[in-house]
Amino acid sequence: MREQFEVRVNREAITVDDTTTVAAAILRAGVAGFRQSPDGHWRGPLCGMGICAECRATIDGVPGQYTCQRWCRPGMQIVTGAASDGEAPDELEER
């Protein structure tokens, strides 16, 4: 059995291993809408293969990451809810 560790999805601790993608960790946290489109519609992953860009989120402070293409690593901080261009949620709230 692979070693389990924790990542944080919007500050909630989620137990994963190194075969878990960040997108799957976010879905495990009960989050379906990863980000908002330009007109404010919630979107989540579609293609699962790094093409559609709908699964973007902020990983360790870096916005706009394709979460379906990234493996979880111990202590990763994942934040969802950014605007379509990948800005951090704090910036979004200021609009």
Q: Interface residues with other proteins (CB under 8 A)?
A: 16-17, 19-21, 23-25, 27-28, 32-34, 37-39, 41-54, 56, 68-72, 84
CB closer to other proteins, 58 vs 84:
84
Residues whose CB falls within 8 Å of the CB of residue 35, separated by 6 or more in sequence, listed in order: 42, 43, 54, 56, 57, 80, 81, 82, 83, 84, 86
Give me the sign of the Cα torsion angle 94, 61, 76, 70: positive
CB closer to other proteins, 24 vs 76:
24
State the nearest-atom distance from the C-beta of 90 to other proteins, in Å. Answer: 20
